[in-house]
Structure 1
Amino acid sequence: MTTSIVPLESLGRVHFIGIGGVGMSAVARIMVARGVPVSGTDAKDLPVMHDLSAAGARIAVGYDAGNLGDAQTIVAGSAIRADNPELAAARAAGLPVLHRSEALAATMAGHRVVTVAGTHGKSTTTSMVAVLLKEAGLDPSFAIGANVPALGVNAAHGASDIFVAEADESDGSFLNYRPLIAVVTNVEADHLDHYGTPEAVFASFDNFAALLPAEGVLLACADDAGARALAERTAGKGTTRVLTYGTAEDADIRLHDDGPAAVAVAIGAQTHALALQVPGRHNALNAAAAFAVAVELGVAPEAAAAALGHFTGASRRFELKGQGRGVRVYDDYAHHPTEVRAALSAARSVAGGRKVHVLFQPHLFSRTREFATEFAEALAAADTALVLDIYPAREDPVPGVTSALIADHLTNGRLVTASEAVDSVVAVAGEGDVVLTVGAGDVTAYGPAIVGALGG
């Protein structure tokens, strides 16, 4: 990854390969708003591409070397393979090829940058920060890895000098940003297909914190062992300010969470009630982080607390898909055991005394191999756990690695095929129950199908 920020004005005409992706379209949307000539392609004709076309981008469906036109800089999505005809043509022509994060970093120049990193909770926390600041009248630019109903989009060019962005650690690209405020929600072993070892993951977060200037601040979650350890190591270096947030007694921004209607955050001697519309302890912690960011940026604590009440969630983050026969169906992007536990905990709080049924799709062969037992332990919190085949994403199959590695440990569930999944869920769901579709793959499509089968 690069160590210097490429000036936006030096990019010229920018072509995005894979422009339909949520992260890629976010960067393209901001560049178009800032007057950069943008073109882009994707394998499928996606709704966001129509939005970009209407905003002034030149869009094509399908990959072809001719689509490059007179582009001067190329941005390639992480899912684009080396033999992609557009990428191959760009490299043959000697055009600079930027990672999405490098292109996003170019749009951040001259801004007070807030980045949100962590193994889990990045999209939700970034969304909360953006919604809070917008409600408080600061109008930030933002780029988020999920659509946010309260904002209408996942990225926008704002009028202020504040830029809020999700910082993805999965491939180390979060080291391309230069934040003034860095939030770290948690630090756990994940993405070992990239890092190799847990120690390498922890070291990358140390490098991320080291990007902060002397006048900057690291906001780390005191309730998470990995984030707390990062805060302690960073504070020991004395190069930047460190603040912690959470329910821990020694947290600088203290969260009080006694249930959905009794969440408050204390800073100094003052305690402020939070009227949150999203359930779960993890979301209360995310809200505490967003509150801390806003106060750091000069928002009055009372205004920050009130603004959080406008956050209704992010796409695929415990998102209600509908209901039928008294059964509520939610969808969640959770794809790590800790995330699955958090999603099921939120489902329990919503279900009350009724049952929770989960349809889980493992994401990546490598992650399934590393965490099969932990996934089974997390899924044990459901009354019924049905497991689909692995969603491979960017990976080729690994011999011996199947969803059975998880399902074989379950006493409350089993494997299901794609064709029987919907009927299997509907057969066990009773009035008042909660159904949760979980995973980072195409399992999200099952939610509406389940709602339809329930007659909703």
Structure 2
Amino acid sequence: MAPGLPIAMDRPHFIGIGGAGMSGIAKILAQRGARVAGSDAKESATAEALRAHGATVHIGHAAGHLADDASCVVVSSAIRQDNPELARAAELGIPVVHRSDALAALMEGLRPIAVAGTHGKTTTTSMLAVSLTELGARPSYAIGGDLDAPGSNALHGEGEIFVAEADESDRSFHKYAPEVAIVLNVELDHHANYASMDEIYESFETFAGKIVPGGTLVISADHEGARELTRRVTGVKKVTYGEAEDADVRVLKIVPQGLKSQVTVLMDGRELTFAVSVPGRHYALNAVAALAAGVALGLPADELAPALAAYTGVKRRLQLKGEEAGVQVIDSYAHHPTEMTADLEAMRGAAGDDRRILVVFQPHLFSRTQELGKEMGQALALADASVVLDIYPAREDPIPGITSALIIEAARAAGADVTAVHDKADIPEVVEGMAKPGDLVLTMGAGDVTDLGPLILDRLSQK
């Protein structure tokens, strides 16, 4: 049986309970019997899903939302020090726990798989959660995105495996002690927290060093940053995967089949072919990483490989939102140039030569735009036409001189057809004027651009 409640987490209060990472931990604690409460900036389907599990969710932040008998206050790195509930916790002497410490506590006594990397964490974690469930392993999991409904990003399972997305952005993944760790790729991102690739490598080395004795590091053989990390990490069993000839789990071929693909790998001296129910080479490689991790944990490859086909996607990862007037609208969480390129190449492969790809892109974070704006613009050149919104600030304050114009200029220099739109409310009308039957429209970015899909479809339905 999985353990019960971690010490002092029987009455937790979450500040920002509706966030992707926070809501998952809150849900698992509620399922384990905790009296969960928290607050979030706005009402959401996630908040309602948490209430369905017995949690008390307040909208807005106020000192009065924190119960005097709360056993702890859970925060993420996004919570500012002047938050009134945080100040109230200090007055009452209630312990403050970082989200990563809470998740680490939930994994104690289980067999954790921690999925890390600059890109692909949510998809790979989801693939493992779905395929292990398909096999009857009854895993617990905490994912940075919903599988098929609000609140489906986490589950307290009765089995011994716990699959968790391991976030490197604030170094919080150093808190975990996995039996199997996956590193999908290693690139410079989160520029407010990392100043160089050396700092990134040091952080991932620390994460790999937390693997329990006898555990395994599953790591890409294709990605240059991952290969460098492989050279640096010592003292742990390493299993590499990918298309490189020296990969331990070698991908022999990936055959696109519309919005799916078929993958053949060479593993332990024999070939294994299985289906992946989402489009794109990068998603196929994510599935191979999941396969290698499951096998490292002792699961039979012959059973796990076909079970991976049960994964049909996660919200915001090339999620089909609908179709109107012959135009399909798809939502993409891609916000880093590598992710943008991968998703656009996947869509190009699915669309063929006869369908246009139109992108509504919302940059995420001023610091990321400052460092990678040129590369974002170059990625948009893969689309037939793009609309670029203003930067979504998230947790950051503006940086003087850093605007979406950096991306637009780079895109145009690369020959892209790009239009600047400053008011999101104008997007449905703009897209209606651009789109023709057969087109694919991607709403792309990590901010609230995702809200535009239904509005675009509604506008298209009136054509």
Please give the TM-score of this superposition, normalised by the length of structure 2. Answer: 0.93
1:448 to 417, 438, 454: 454
Offset, 1:26: 0.4
Tell whether the 8 Å contact from 2:10 to 2:33 is kept in structure 1 after alignment: no
User: Which digits, 9 at most, give the CA deviation of each residue in 1:161-208, with x for residues without a partner?
Assistant: 110000001111111111110001100000011112222112101111
In structure 2, C-alpha distance between the alignment counterparts of 1:122 and 1:363, rounded to whole Å: 18
Equivalent residue, structure 2, for 1:180: 179
In structure 1, C-alpha distance between the alignment counterparts of 2:283 and 2:149, rounded to whole Å: 16
In structure 2, C-alpha distance between the alignment counterparts of 1:89 and 1:217, rounded to whole Å: 43
Secondary structure of residue in 2 paired with 1:329: strand
User: Which digits, 9 at most, give the CA deviation of each residue in 1:323-361, with x for residues without a partner?
Assistant: 122221111111100000011011101211121111111
In structure 1, C-alpha distance between the alignment counterparts of 2:365 and 2:419, rounded to whole Å: 19
Offset, 1:445: 1.3
Offset, 1:46: 2.4
1:300-449 mapped onto 2 (5 Å cutoff): 300-353=300-353, 354-409=355-410, 410=412, 411=415, 412-417=417-422, 418-449=424-455
Secondary structure of residue in 2 paired with 1:105: helix
Read off the aligned partner of 2:210 and give its amino acid letter. Answer: L
**Shift in CA distance, 89/34, structure 1 to aligned 2, threshold 3 Å:** same
1:112-127 mapped onto 2 (5 Å cutoff): 112-127=111-126
Equivalent residue, structure 1, for 2:256: 259
Equivalent residue, structure 1, for 2:281: 281
Tell whether the 8 Å contact from 1:218 to 1:231 is kept in structure 2 after alignment: no
User: Which digits, 9 at most, give the CA deviation of each residue in 1:26-67, with x for residues without a partner?
Assistant: 001111111222221223232223332332223323322222
In structure 2, C-alpha distance between the alignment counterparts of 1:247 and 1:85, rounded to whole Å: 51
1:160-175 mapped onto 2 (5 Å cutoff): 160-175=159-174
Question: Structure 1 stretch 79-88 or stretch 42-51: which is displaced more?
Answer: 42-51
Read off the aligned partner of 1:141 and give its amino acid letter. Answer: S
Residue segments in structure 1 that go unaligned for 5+ positions in a row: 1-6
Question: Structure 1 stretch 255-264 or stretch 392-401: which is displaced more?
Answer: 255-264
1:80-229 mapped onto 2 (5 Å cutoff): 80-149=79-148, 153-229=152-228
Question: Structure 1 stretch 94-103 or stretch 40-49: which is displaced more?
Answer: 40-49
Read off the aligned partner of 2:294 and give its amino acid letter. Answer: A
Tell whether the 8 Å contact from 2:262 to 2:276 is kept in structure 1 after alignment: no
Tell whether the 8 Å contact from 1:19 to 1:42 is kept in structure 2 after alignment: yes
In structure 1, C-alpha distance between the alignment counterparts of 2:456 and 2:350, rounded to whole Å: 18
**Shift in CA distance, 298/152, structure 1 to aligned 2, threshold 3 Å:** farther
Equivalent residue, structure 2, for 1:28: 26
Offset, 1:453: 1.8
Percent identical among aligned pairs is: 51
User: Which digits, 9 at most, give the CA deviation of each residue in 1:265-304, with x for residues without a partner?
Assistant: 2212222222211000100000001111222222221211
Read off the aligned partner of 2:103 and give its amino acid letter. Answer: L
Please give the TM-score of this superposition, normalised by the length of structure 1. Answer: 0.94
Tell whether the 8 Å contact from 1:185 to 1:286 is kept in structure 2 after alignment: yes
**Shift in CA distance, 419/11, structure 1 to aligned 2, threshold 3 Å:** closer
Question: Structure 1 stretch 104-113 or stretch 61-70: which is displaced more?
Answer: 61-70
Equivalent residue, structure 2, for 1:250: 246
In structure 2, C-alpha distance between the alignment counterparts of 1:452 and 1:63, rounded to whole Å: 33
Secondary structure of residue in 2 paired with 1:195: coil
User: Which digits, 9 at most, give the CA deviation of each residue in 1:290-321, with x for residues without a partner?
Assistant: 11122222222121111111111011000001
Offset, 1:95: 1.8
Offset, 1:263: 1.8
Tell whether the 8 Å contact from 2:46 to 2:151 is kept in structure 1 after alignment: no
Equivalent residue, structure 2, for 1:4: none
Residue segments in structure 2 that go unaligned for 5+ positions in a row: none
In structure 2, C-alpha distance between the alignment counterparts of 1:400 and 1:19, rounded to whole Å: 33
Tell whether the 8 Å contact from 2:335 to 2:446 is kept in structure 1 after alignment: yes
In structure 2, C-alpha distance between the alignment counterparts of 1:390 and 1:150, rounded to whole Å: 28
Secondary structure of residue in 1 paired with 2:7: helix
**Shift in CA distance, 170/405, structure 1 to aligned 2, threshold 3 Å:** same
Equivalent residue, structure 2, for 1:271: 271
Read off the aligned partner of 2:159 and give its amino acid letter. Answer: S
In structure 2, C-alpha distance between the alignment counterparts of 1:284 and 1:55, rounded to whole Å: 34
Matched, 1:299 2:299: yes
In structure 2, C-alpha distance between the alignment counterparts of 1:94 and 1:246, rounded to whole Å: 50
In structure 2, C-alpha distance between the alignment counterparts of 1:140 and 1:262, rounded to whole Å: 26
Question: Structure 1 stretch 14-23 or stretch 60-69: which is displaced more?
Answer: 60-69
Read off the aligned partner of 1:397 and give its amino acid letter. Answer: P
Tell whether the 8 Å contact from 1:184 to 1:218 is kept in structure 2 after alignment: yes
Read off the aligned partner of 2:7 and give its amino acid letter. Answer: E
Tell whether the 8 Å contact from 1:115 to 1:183 is kept in structure 2 after alignment: yes
Offset, 1:17: 1.2
Tell whether the 8 Å contact from 2:320 to 2:331 is kept in structure 1 after alignment: yes
Equivalent residue, structure 2, for 1:62: 60
Offset, 1:151: 11
User: Which digits, 9 at most, give the CA deviation of each residue in 1:206-263, with x for residues without a partner?
Assistant: 11111112301000111111111112221xx2x1100111111111111221323432
In structure 2, C-alpha distance between the alignment counterparts of 1:99 and 1:390, rounded to whole Å: 28
Tell whether the 8 Å contact from 2:178 to 2:210 is kept in structure 1 after alignment: yes
In structure 1, C-alpha distance between the alignment counterparts of 2:189 and 2:57, rounded to whole Å: 35
